[in-house]
Chain A
Amino acid sequence: MKLWYSFTKELNLSAKSWYFYIEMGMAVVLLLILIFLVPEKFENRSSEYLYLDLPKVVKDQYREALLEKDLDESSEWVEVKANKKNYRAELYETDESKIYLLENMEALNAFSGSERVPTVHVHVNKDSQIIHTYYLQGYETQKLKNLLLVFHNQKAELDVIDEYSDNIVVRSIYQNIEPLSDRQNLIPVFLTFNGSLMSLFIISAYIFLDKNEGIIKAYAVTASSVWHYLLSKIGVILLTSIATTLIITIPVMGFQPDYLTMILFLITSGFFAASLGLYITSFYKDIIQAFGALYIVIVIMIMPNISYFTPSWDPDWIKIIPSYIMLQSFKEIISINGNIDYVRVASLGFAVLGLDIFVLANYRFKKTLTL
């Protein structure tokens, strides 16, 4: 009962504090960013600028080839700006790129020289061969240069890998999985940091605030246990993180995610993070002293984001950082036919680890709570 009284008191105090409303407000801000600023699909098509310095017949052949690949099989005339001057260009839009056919060499030079974009001058040499002259900017990778070589070898029918690549069989191991949209793909990041990991910092702030006001001392001379005090604070933080998570997720994902599993995971991962925060806090007298340790934890926890957005960089050591598991778990939860077993195992792991750390933190707080 004492735990319940402490919890309801913390809830009451939380509802009276600005911080609670800031958290809720931030969740709404994140939601608005997701809905209005983050597109469903990021624009990742490259822009290519070409000048076809070719006889009309050849130029028309080029145009026909481009029209075949164009999304609406038609081109449009647009004005593009380079070096503070407007140039006319014919725009073709394909799945992979936006191709601008410029009208003259001056326009090509303007784009190459002042806009720092790669350009291509297609012309005919004295032997009537079609030459592609690329004006690269120096930042292009060797991979791109190799791809251009392969592409032109193919054109010249000198390709040696065509036969090999045509025979590669691609099979999908997981069936019935739909990739998340770019907007949905951001949700795990928001949930990990605004939901689970925020508990780590908020609990520190709460404890140091109570220490400053001497409230902990008053609590310590009652017949209630220290762990009641600590757990009631964690309880309020978890409740807040569930609320903020639902604010962000429901409008974007609807009722497609497995919310029960999501709440279970939020509770266990949040409990783990809050216990870790408590344990760190127990070593310091005030938040200024604790900030160094908290900062290191923040930096470590941010690192898995790199791997999340750049899947090709996924070393083993990063997989043991808790935020990596949180990111992957939230991704599985919101994905159609996501791997819920992975999430359940992760939940169990966080619960067990969180409990161990909580016991340690409680032991330390008995010694240091009133210092």
Chain B
Amino acid sequence: MIKVKNLYHSYSNDESYAVNDISFEIEKGEIFGFLGPSGAGKSTTQNILTGLLQLQKGEVEVAGFDVKHIKNKMFNKIGMSFEQSNVYNKMSGLENLEFYRKLFDVKTREPMELIKMVGLDGKEKIKAGKYSKGMKHRLTFARSMINNPEIWFLDEPTTGLDPAIAANIKDIIKEENRKGVTVFLTTHNMFIADELCDRVAFIVDGKIRLIDSPKELKLRYGEKLVEVEYFRNGELLKDRFSTVVEEEKNQLIEVIKKNNVQTMHTKEATLEEIFIKVTGRGLV
């Protein structure tokens, strides 16, 4: 659905690239996470893919359209949810969606259905200017689904939302993905990426450092250890056992059998730890 080959972009039209020779492909139905700290080149890449920034150098194909010669028809197939809410404040939530649905040439979704989906029902007739930040964010998110997009670009979709609403948004993303929608997720939140993405790309200083599935990354970079806390003779002890060395595997079994185990954790690496290990950079 998305093909990017040797993409470069410079805001100053010189050799100082915000995006520097990146290439990747995204298959239909995939959730692809584009992860990196602020200023890494995530938004620049996404803006080029959605036609918001002009393609300078490289080849980009989105939903079968060459982004170099962008056509309006391409936008019938894509949806974009922005990190910063950008709705008409003087129009109600419903009016916002009613207006945007008229700008597409394909069958669109019922605005009220989307409003209910993101939990804004009952507030659809209130001016968006009176919405809270989170409500505006949900309206922006709902709007991005109005044209039943085949490719869905999501920029920090859960930022600033409370955990319950964020969980609802994640559920919607999973549900749409189950229906076959391809998702391009830009975030610096490794937990949401871990939970949702089939594959992730780590981008730092405009370059992609790594692309793989979260599971593979954890296997590759995580330590194969189990950490156990247990009581023996009234004393709380803490030990680590390898899950691959035969002798330690047996020791672990013995500890479980003979002692009162309090906690037990695999020492699987988080995506954030892997990111730091691979890029040498934090995510802020």
Contact = CB atoms under 8 A, between A and B. Distances in A.
Interface string B134-149: 0000001001000100
B103 A367 contact: no
Contact of B51 (A213, A214, A220): A220
A218 B72 CA distance: 14
A368 to B, nearest CB: 9
B24 interface: no
B75 interface: yes
A221 interface: yes
Interface in A146-185: none
Given A221-B52, A223-B76, A223-B103, A214 B90 contact: no
Interface residues of A, number: 24
B86 A223 contact: no
Contact of B99 (A9, A214, A220, A367): A9
A33 interface: no
Nearest to A8: B99
Contacts of B99: 5, 9
Contacts of A16: 90
A2 interface: yes
Interface string A209-238: 000011101111111110000000000000
Instruction: With a 10 A CB-CB cut-off, give which of A2, A220, A223 has the most chain B CB atoms.
Output: A223
Interface stretch (B1-9, B77-85, B183-191, B205-213): B77-85
B52 A370 contact: yes
A363 to B, nearest CB: 12
B105 A223 contact: yes
Nearest to A221: B80
A352 B112 CA distance: 45
A218 B86 contact: yes
Contacts of B80: 218, 221
B47 interface: yes
B53 A370 contact: yes
B102 A5 contact: yes
Nearest to B71: A223
Given A221-B52, A223-B76, A214 B47 contact: no
B168 interface: no
A220 B49 CA distance: 13
B100 interface: yes
Given A214-B82, A217-B82, A13 B91 contact: yes
Given A12-B91, A221-B75, A223-B72, A213 B100 contact: no
Given A12-B91, A213-B89, A215-B86, A224 B52 contact: no
Contacts of A2: 102-103
Contact of B100 (A214, A218, A366): A218
Contacts of B88: 9, 13, 215
B277 interface: no
Describe A's contact surface by its main secondary structure: helix
A370 B47 contact: yes
Interface string A1-36: 110011001001100110000000000000000000
A217 B143 CA distance: 13
Contacts of B73: 223
A16 B99 CA distance: 16
A207 to B, nearest CB: 15
Contact of B84 (A214, A221, A366, A370): A214
A214 B140 CA distance: 11
Given A213-B89, A370-B47, A222 B82 contact: no
Nearest to B77: A223
A141 to B, nearest CB: 58
Contacts of B90: 13, 16-17
A214 B52 CA distance: 12
Interface string A39-83: 000000000000000000000000000000000000000000000
A193 B102 CA distance: 36
B231 interface: no
Contacts of B82: 214, 217-218
B97 to A, nearest CB: 11
A214 B91 CA distance: 15
Given A214-B86, A217-B52, 14 more contacts: A5-B103, A12-B91, A17-B90, A213-B89, A215-B86, A215-B87, A217-B86, A218-B80, A218-B82, A219-B103, A221-B79, A222-B100, A223-B103, A366-B54
8 contacts: A9-B99, A13-B90, A214-B84, A219-B103, A223-B75, A223-B105, A224-B72, A366-B54
